């Protein structure tokens, strides 16, 4: 049992007894304290809090910036304190209001939405979108802050996805919603413009990678940029036109697809291979001095990261954006 002291808006203190292994967020919610939260897995950062003078467990600070860590910020959904702790809400990430400018299907399961430019960001970072005060989801920024005058996100529609089905069926052009962010460090920071870059992702992992590649090209990257995209079926391949346009415009940019369940007519098509890991090894066997960006589900990112590391990419040169599934 750990004692938790929650300092509310008017500095009143609520005392909460945390059960063994219980997170700060769950303890507060269980006691009826109304605090914001989203994914509950440490990604969306909606539940960020601050602890003024306590040691914050390291595991509760993953993904935060160094200055935030030093200032005692932490994610309450990942914080299981062993010592008594004083916590309060932080206004670090203010929510901004944004308007829906466009909505369009990119494939059977991916909807592109465009929102008014309410935040400053780097392509490849992500932001949390709030349907209302309870329902929030996190998506990667595909658009470019200077080249585009909108924010673009790719929303994968899941059969029982509360947020994604609302985007698909309910969201209308002109609607307003709230946005919070940006977050994440999967963006173009390459100082050496001749460095080779490998970007690899599965499914809507395309979103941050497209953002990063386009940003690199706009910033005048000269080195080879290879983008390796994986999908389960041919229908899962989307954004082909935009990728082809980019390829046409920039000769150092190249895209390859890997479709796991390939239809025979595609097997013959040059550049396709059914296993993304094999394809990566074939196309770039040696990743020394290469900058790597990965995006997709946890098992893909883990496996590809390991493979790239063993192919001699430096750990510090591998940036990854792991999409986590939301607990029901």
Partner 1 sequence: MSVYEAIGGEAAVNAAVDVFYRKVLLDERISEFFDTVDMEEQHRKQKAFLTMAFGGPNAYTGKDMREAHAGMNLTEEHFTAVAEALVGTLNDLEVPQNYIDEIVGIALSVKDDVLNV
User: Closer CB to partner 1, residue 232 or residue 312?
Assistant: 312
Q: Among 105, 175, 306, 325, which residue interacts with partner 1 (rule: CB under 8 A)?
A: 306
Output the smallest distance, CB 135 to partner 1, in A: 29
Q: Return the bridge partners of 257, or none.
A: 229, 272
Site for partner 1 contains 277 (CB under 8 A): no
Q: Does 214 bind partner 1 (CB under 8 A)?
A: no
Q: If binding is defined by CB under 8 A, does position 303 make contact with partner 1?
A: no
Q: For partner 1, which stretch binds (CB under 8 A), given 5-13, 32-40, 70-78, 304-312?
A: 304-312
Shortest approach of partner 1 to residue 315 CB, angstroms? 5
- For partner 1, which residue of 305, 319, 321, 323 counts as binding (CB under 8 A)? 305
> Does residue number 103 form part of the binding site for partner 1 (CB under 8 A)?
no
Smallest separation (angstroms) from partner 1 to the CB of 312: 8
Minimum separation from the CB atom of position 306 to partner 1 (A): 7
Contact between 185 and partner 1 by CB under 8 A: the answer reads no
Query: Using the rule CB under 8 A, is 65 a contact of partner 1?
Result: no
Nearer Cβ to partner 1 (27/205)? 205
Count of residues that bind partner 1 according to CB under 8 A: 8
Residue 291 as a binder of partner 1 (CB under 8 A): the answer is no
Q: Give the binding range for partner 1 (CB under 8 A) out of 20-28, 73-81, 229-237, 301-309.
A: 301-309
Distance, CA of 183 to CA of 76 (rounded, Å): 16
- Minimum distance from residue 152 beta carbon to partner 1 (Å): 29
| 214 versus 305: smaller Cβ distance to partner 1 | 305
Tell me: does residue 302 bind partner 1 (CB under 8 A).
yes
3 state SS for the chain: CEEEEEECCCCCEEEEEECCCCCHHHHHHHCCCCCCCCCCCCCCCCCEEECCCCCCCHHHHCCCCHHHHHCCEEEHHHCCCCCCEEEEECCCCCCEEEEEEEEEECCCCEEEEEECCCCCCCCCCEEEEECCCCCEEEEECCCCCCCCCCEEEEEECCCCCHHHHHHHHHCCCCCEEEEEEEECCCCCCCCCCCCCEEEEEEHHHHHHHHHHHHHHHHCCCCCCEEEEEEEEEHHHCCCHHHHHHHHHHCCCEEEEEEEEECCHHHHCCCCECCCHHHHHHHHCCCCCCCEEEEEEEHHHHHHHHHHHHHCCCCHHHEEEEEECCCCC
User: Which residues fall within 8 angstroms of residue 214, CB to CB, at 6 or more apart?
Assistant: 123, 144, 147, 246
30 binds partner 1 (CB under 8 A): no
Q: Cβ of residue 232: shortest distance to partner 1, in angstroms?
A: 23
Q: How far is the CB of 22 from partner 1 (least distance, A)?
A: 22
Binding window for partner 1 (CB under 8 A); candidates: 7-15, 204-212, 236-244, 300-308:
300-308
In the shown chain, the binding pattern of residues 307 to 326 toward partner 1, with x for contact by CB under 8 A and - for none, equals: --xx-x-xx-----------
By CB under 8 A, name the binding residues for partner 1.
Answer: 302, 305-306, 309-310, 312, 314-315
């Amino acid at each position: 049992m750990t004692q938790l002291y929650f300092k509310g808006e008017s500095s009143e203190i609520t005392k909460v007894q945390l059960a063994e292994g219980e997170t700060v967020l769950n303890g507060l919610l269980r006691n009826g304290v109304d605090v914001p939260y989203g994914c509950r897995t440490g990604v969306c950062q909606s539940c960020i809090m601050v602890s003024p003078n306590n040691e914050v467990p390291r595991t509760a600070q993953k993904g935060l910036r160094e200055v935030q860590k030093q200032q005692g910020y932490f994610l309450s959904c990942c914080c299981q304190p062993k010592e008594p702790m004083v916590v309060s809400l932080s206004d670090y990430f203010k929510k901004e209001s944004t308007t829906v400018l466009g909505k369009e299907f990119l494939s059977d399961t991916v909807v592109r939405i465009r929102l008014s430019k309410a935040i400053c960001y780097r392509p490849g970072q992500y932001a949390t979108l709030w349907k209302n005060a309870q329902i929030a989801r996190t998506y990667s920024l595909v658009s470019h802050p200077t080249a585009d005058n909108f924010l673009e996100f790719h929303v994968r529609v899941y059969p029982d996805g509360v947020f994604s089905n609302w985007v698909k069926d309910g969201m209308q052009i002109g609607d307003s919603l709230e946005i919070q962010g940006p977050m994440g460090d999967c963006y173009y920071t390459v100082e050496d413009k001749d460095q080779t870059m490998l970007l690899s992702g599965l499914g809507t992992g395309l979103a941050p990678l497209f953002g990063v590649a386009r940003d690199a090209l706009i910033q005048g990257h000269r080195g080879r940029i290879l983008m390796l995209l994986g999908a389960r079926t041919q229908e899962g391949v989307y954004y082909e036109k935009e990728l082809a346009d980019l390829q046409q415009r920039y000769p150092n940019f190249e895209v390859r697809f890997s479709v796991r369940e390939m239809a025979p007519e595609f097997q013959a098509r040059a550049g396709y291979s059914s296993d993304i890991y094999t394809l990566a090894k074939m196309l770039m066997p040696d990743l020394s001095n290469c900058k790597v960006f990965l995006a997709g589900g946890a098992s893909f990112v883990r496996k590809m990261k390991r493979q790239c590391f063993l192919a001699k990419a430096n750990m510090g040169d591998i940036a990854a954006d792991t999409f986590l599934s939301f607990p029901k």
